Amino acid sequence: MTPEHETTASRPQAEAEAGSTLVLRLRASDPIPAGAHADAPQYVLLGPEADGGKGFEPGALGRSHGLIEGIGEAIGAAAIRRLVIPALDGAEDPDERAAIMAAASAASVMEVDVQVGDAALRPSLEVFNELREACRARHSADSRTATAVISAWNKKGDVCANLLGIRAQTRPFDDIVVVDNHSSDGTPEMIRRDFPDVRLVVMPNSDYGACETFNVGFSTALTEYIAILDDDVVLTPWWLERSLERMGQEPETTAVVSTKVVEPGMPDSYRDSESVNRERYMSTFRGCASLARKEAIDKAGGYDERLFLYGNERDLTCRLLNLGYRVLQFPGAETFHRTPFGVQMGKRSLYFHARNAWLGMLKYAPLTELVKMPFLVVTKVLFRGGKKEEAGEVTDAVGTIGIGKAVRQTKGSWWILTKATASIIYNIPYCLKRRQPVKAPDFELPLK
């Protein structure tokens, strides 16, 4: 066969090889790695779209979820069998390392082979495990340990994205615990198949509230720190690294570092407001993504399981404050939360938000504050304007954002509030038995 015939015959094979390969570069200006076909599809991990970037810009808020999912979609859409990613040892800054780990994490559950830099192709999970160990080695001098604790129920896709975000951490977690509330959508099966490193606890039925399932996770953790995570969050790749670094600058009396949360529908005015983006001590924390000292959570007794769900973070914070601990708002680590911004519409949400705010304050609010609360709830919460909420003036009581709208738009809302009131009255003896008014200066009513 002549050279011309060889070239012509090999062209379809080369084109097929290029079409089944996805090349990931940190920036559009980076050269294509050796061995990667020049005609292969490209995906740029860093930089704005105007410069060819398809991932997150350096310093962008909560964008890593889009990067992980975007790579997964690109692999699936084009029947990719080979993935080329940059080498981790050539990454000069945290954003570069974060982008590479996000890419490796996205590929780790895909049936693809991965080429790192100019190296040979290897199975995706093998490559990911090697990169994770490289990240772990970078932090070998840090003896602190951390467990990711997730409470899950019927959110298979969200839990998968969450666990991929945990895998992408530039400072790996030492352990991962998922407490599944007897999901019927295949969540436990997916975890066992794709994330065998996760310690999975499946509750015997689905009647347990988030407070109880989180407490099961807390008791299962064996590390110094625990990350308290909702099932539908995706951590930015440097979330644990930055949260641990900030926690290390605090005295041991800081029990929780509450990180910044970005949600669908969140107005830019709220996300970028000064009050949301400054460090300060608070009277609650964001239970969807916070880092806590396990010893402090254990001393405080974890979540009050009678609350079932909602309001449990403020209730726990009151006990922490009474023990001399504090909670720090830390905007330096971001989390993407798939739940839309504000109080969710629905009868159950309205019932537990209204009921639990009162149960917590019956236990912990000073009497002078408690007697003012009915008037303040009406004037400062139910009739509060949406513009104030969107402007970031409501920061601690995020569980009240949009509650006035929920009352107006939920069918039968006044009957729901009546039932919540009945439950409050029924639980008065329970609350009085546990009453410990908070005198710490960080305490505030759940109004702001």
- Do 96 and 177 lie in one domain? The reply is no
Tens digit of each residue's pLDDT (9 = 90 or more) over 72-123: 888 887 678 999 999 998 787 888 898 899 999 999 998 899 999 888 899 9
At residue 410, the pLDDT reads: 75
- Do 118 and 73 lie in one domain? The reply is yes
- Do 84 and 111 lie in one domain? The reply is yes
Domain boundary among 286, 318, 337: 337
- Do 57 and 91 lie in one domain? The reply is yes
Task: Please tell me whether residue 178 adopts helix, strand or coil conformation.
Answer: strand
In a domain, 23, yes or no: yes
At residue 399, the pLDDT reads: 58
Tens digit of each residue's pLDDT (9 = 90 or more) over 392-443: 555 655 655 656 666 666 788 889 989 999 999 999 999 999 999 999 999 9
At residue 91, the pLDDT reads: 83
At residue 61, the pLDDT reads: 46
pTM score of the predicted model: 0.89
At residue 378, the pLDDT reads: 67
- Do 52 and 75 lie in one domain? The reply is yes
Domain boundary among 309, 337, 365: 337
At residue 445, the pLDDT reads: 87
Task: Please tell me whether residue 117 adopts helix, strand or coil conformation.
Answer: coil
In a domain, 438, yes or no: no
pLDDT at 4 over 50: no
- Do 284 and 151 lie in one domain? The reply is yes
pLDDT at 9 over 70: no
Tens digit of each residue's pLDDT (9 = 90 or more) over 326-373: 999 999 998 888 888 766 667 888 888 889 999 999 999 999 989 888
At residue 2, the pLDDT reads: 43
- Do 31 and 127 lie in one domain? The reply is yes
In a domain, 446, yes or no: no
User: Between 349 and 130, whose confidence is greater?
Assistant: 130
- Structure token digits, residue 223: 């590390």
Sheet holding 82-85, edge to edge: 53-56, 42-46, 21-25, 82-85, 113-116, 122-123
- Do 304 and 352 lie in one domain? The reply is no
Domain boundary among 84, 108, 138: 138
In a domain, 214, yes or no: yes
In a domain, 442, yes or no: no
Tens digit of each residue's pLDDT (9 = 90 or more) over 36-56: 767 778 888 887 776 767 765
How far is it, in rounded angstroms, from Cα 173 to Cα 241? 9
In a domain, 439, yes or no: no
CATH number at residue 239: 3.90.550.10
Mean pLDDT of the chain: 86
* Structural domain boundaries enclosing 205: 146-337
- Do 128 and 206 lie in one domain? The reply is no
- Do 54 and 37 lie in one domain? The reply is yes
pLDDT at 6 over 70: no
At residue 420, the pLDDT reads: 92
| Contact partners, residue 253, CB within 8 Å, separation at least 6 | 324, 325, 326
Give me the percent of the chain exceeding a pLDDT of 90. 55
- Do 294 and 217 lie in one domain? The reply is yes
361 contacts 316 by C-beta, under 8 angstroms:
no
Give me the mean pLDDT over the 253-262 stretch: 95
What is the number of structural domains in the chain?
A: 3
pLDDT at 227 over 70: yes
In a domain, 393, yes or no: yes
- Do 129 and 265 lie in one domain? The reply is no
In a domain, 447, yes or no: no
pLDDT at 240 over 70: yes
**Interior/surface letters 83-113, b for 16+ CB within 10 angstroms, e for the rest:** bbbbebeebeeebbbbbbbbbbbbbbbbebb
